[in-house]
Amino acid sequence: MATATVVAGRPVRRRRAVRTGGLTRGSALGLGVALTWFSLLVLIPLSAVVVKAAGGGWQTFADTFANDQTMAALRLTVSTSVVITAVNMVMGTAIAWVLVRDHFWGKRVLDVIIDIPFALPTIVAGLVLLSLYGADGPLGVDVANTRKAVLLAIAFVTLPFVVRTVQPVLEELEHDVEEASASLGASRLTTFRRVILPTLVPAIFAGASLSFARGISEYGSLVLLSGNLPGKTEVTSVRVLSYLEGGNPASAAAVATIMLVVALLAIVTLDVVQRRVSRRG
Amino acid sequence: MVETPTAVRWLLRVVVVGYLFMLIAWPTSLVVQRTFEHGLEGLRVALSDPDVTHALWLTAQVSVIAVIINLVFGVGVSLLLVRSRFVGRRLLSALIDLPLAVSPVVVGLALVLVYNGRFGWFGPFLEQHGIQVVFAMPGMVMATCFVALPLVVREVVPVLEEIGDDQEQAARCLGANSMQTFWRITLPGIKWAVVYGVVLSLARSLGEFGAVKVVAGNVTGETQLATLVVQQKYQNFEQETAYSVSFILAAAAVLCIVIVSLLRPKENR
């Protein structure tokens, strides 16, 4: 029996105790249907991946780690995602800053441009980048089938995450605090470092973990751009697919499980770092 | 407001605009340019290819079905998460975001492991009863549902929390039943959040590639979706057709985000 608990972080709008003691018959039915669908669609299939990977015992994982091609793909994917996430933390915050604090003609257009990577089909994103940075692009640089292409593609698809998490926080930020800090003699840099940045840190890290998770799982935009050269530009998603197409679902599941674990580890690590940093601020 | 020094402001402005121009704006505009290099000829050739039209039509069907399912599921789950208290509510709320952290290829793999007709967990049983999931419509719809699942919930939950349930309680007191309360009170309150969620889901569904590639089997003219046509045509050196289909998909996506950005300020007012 649920009681009137106040969940932390929720805007306290309700003045009375929570109306429902438990579930009405209608909402219990709804919950049942929703949970069944969610299990059939998400939970059971994802556990099937883990079960399949664990089915072969440690041997499957050992074989996967012993495979040079897979390890090269893992290293490339993780290192690229780390670099791009770091870039996004800086550039994303800068972009959010410009969108909120700066005013110039055409700013509205920038706001729409930020969302393009979210909305664009990933395969089209690859084609888009290829048209400028590919063989017959107007710049004359050809990054297709190189590691630069992987960097570029991941930078493109993960761009909006940090911007869109930092932007609302920056909009809500009270100017009084900054003015107080300035009137107490803090320089602009000190105000930024000691007052503004600590407020933004949780949002920056939240965006960073989304961006990292997206980065290591990227597939569509790389298909046309990176050429999937084994040991050179091949990423982990491609390894999963080629294992599956090669009739080896157990190895595919093992690589997929490693990807899930890396994503979870990254999310937890960034959360821990974020707590540390904001406590010190 | 504490003013940022002019030099810093200009530096930031130039860096940001330059970065976005080089990474997004210029490449995107080139695709438009390539599509219309020979006027409308490219689009005409692409649209007279039966494989292309079939793929576009299939993409539209799959996306609409997936969006409707996600809409019903999303609004329902949001209401349950915000308005009811049950064991495991926090857990469910965390799990809903899971699809965002899973690679599309892994989504495809997961569905294949459970629903394929040969060695899947449920696949052989379903196939005996005449339902083919993988390499068929249900699989494509499920893959699309999976990747776009959290979008409606993420838009609707914050709005539901903010409007509170005072009005719903008032309606109840005045004798409205739960259907009336939902249609007359709750839905108008969350209307715009639902619209954003639907538009975002639609954009995501139209563009899904990795998950449907694994699940759909990519048989030209049968289970080939528009994004898979782009890959095939590009790799077959029919670049103009690839650019044309890309343009159609990109135009639909950009239209979606423009609609969202036009709606957004309206809600704030």
Percent of chain A with pLDDT over 70: 91
Say which range, A35-44, A180-189, A198-207, has the weakest mean pLDDT: A180-189
Chain B residues with beta carbon closer than 8 angstroms to that of A123: 207, 209, 227-228, 230-231, 246
Q: Residue B266's pLDDT band (boundaries 50, 70, 90)? A: low
Q: Mark yes or no for CB contact B235/A110 under 8 Å.
A: no
Architecture of domain A45-280: Orthogonal Bundle (1.10)
Query: If you measure CA to CA, which chain B residue comes closest to A263?
Result: B101
State pTM to two decimals.
Answer: 0.84
CA B7 from centre of chain:
41
- B43-268 CATH fold: MetI-like fold (1.10.3720)
Q: Residue A26's pLDDT band (boundaries 50, 70, 90)? A: confident
**Predicted confidence (pLDDT) per residue in B201-251, tens digit:** 998 898 888 888 888 876 776 778 888 888 888 888 888 888 888 888 888
**Predicted confidence (pLDDT) per residue in A4-16, tens digit:** 333 344 444 444 4
- The pair of structure tokens assigned to B89 is 């509510």
Q: CA separation (Å) from A162 to A71, A92, A202, A244?
A: 29, 5, 11, 33
The CA distance from B217 to the nearest CA of chain A, in Å, is 10
Q: What average pLDDT does this structure show over A233-258? A: 88
Chain A residues with beta carbon closer than 8 angstroms to that of B1: 175, 178-179
**pLDDT value at residue B62:** 92
Q: Mark yes or no for CB contact B210/A220 under 8 Å.
A: yes
Q: Mark yes or no for CB contact B146/A244 under 8 Å.
A: no
Q: How many CA atoms lie within 13 A of A95 on its CB side?
A: 29
Q: Mark yes or no for CB contact B85/A44 under 8 Å.
A: no
Say which range, A88-92, A199-203, B263-267, has the weakest mean pLDDT: B263-267
Rounded Cα distance between B214 and B161, Å, is 38
Percent of chain A with pLDDT over 90: 17
Tell me the domain boundaries of chain B.
1-35, 43-268
Burial class (CB in 10 A: 0-12, 13-18, 19+), A12: exposed
Q: Contact, A261 vs A174, CB < 8 A?
A: no
Q: What average pLDDT does this structure show over A197-204? A: 87
Predicted confidence (pLDDT) at residue A3 exceeds the cutoff of 70: no
Q: Which of A20, A31, A121 sits opposite B209 (nearest CB)?
A: A121
Q: Mark yes or no for CB contact A23/B84 under 8 Å.
A: yes
Q: What average pLDDT does this structure show over A151-175? A: 89
Predicted confidence (pLDDT) at residue A18 exceeds the cutoff of 60: no
**Predicted confidence (pLDDT) per residue in B53-104, tens digit:** 888 998 999 999 999 999 999 999 998 888 888 888 888 887 888 888 888 9
- Average pLDDT of chain B to the nearest whole number: 84
Predicted confidence (pLDDT) at residue A281 exceeds the cutoff of 60: no
Predicted confidence (pLDDT) at residue B195 exceeds the cutoff of 80: yes
**pLDDT value at residue A280:** 61
Residues 6+ apart with CB under 8 A from A36: none
**Predicted confidence (pLDDT) per residue in B167-191, tens digit:** 888 888 888 888 888 888 888 888 8
Query: If you measure CA to CA, which chain B residue comes closest to A173?
Result: B1
Q: Mark yes or no for CB contact A156/B110 under 8 Å.
A: no
The CA distance from B2 to the nearest CA of chain A, in Å, is 6
Query: If you measure CA to CA, which chain B residue comes closest to A156?
Result: B23
**pLDDT value at residue A37:** 92
**pLDDT value at residue A270:** 78
Which of B212, B234, B186, B210 minimizes the C-alpha distance to B78?
B186
- Dump the DSSP string for A144-212: TTSHHHHHHHHHHHHHHHHHHHHHHHHHH--HHHHHHHHHTT--HHHIIIIIIHHHHHHHHHHHHHHHH
Rounded Cα distance between B62 and A226, Å, is 29
**pLDDT value at residue B74:** 93
**pLDDT value at residue A273:** 79
Query: If you measure CA to CA, which chain A residue comes closest to B203?
Result: A119
**pLDDT value at residue B117:** 76
Q: Mark yes or no for CB contact B2/A267 under 8 Å.
A: no
- The pair of structure tokens assigned to A81 is 């995602």
Query: If you measure CA to CA, which chain B residue comes closest to A91?
Result: B16
The CA distance from A231 to the nearest CA of chain B, in Å, is 19
**Predicted confidence (pLDDT) per residue in B113-148, tens digit:** 888 877 778 878 888 887 888 888 888 999 999 999
CA A254 from centre of chain:
22
Q: Mark yes or no for CB contact A131/B119 under 8 Å.
A: no
Work out how many CB contacts closer than 8 A connect A with B.
276
> In B229-248, which positions are buried (b, 16+ CB within 10 angstroms) versus exposed (e)?
bbbbbbeeebbbbbbbbbbb
Q: Contact, B174 vs B221, CB < 8 A?
A: no
End-to-end CA distance of chain A: 41
Phi-psi region of B221 (alpha: psi -120 to 50; beta: other; left: phi over 0): left
Q: Mark yes or no for CB contact A20/B119 under 8 Å.
A: no
Interface mutation vs chain A, best among B9, B19, B28, most A CBs within 10 Å: B28
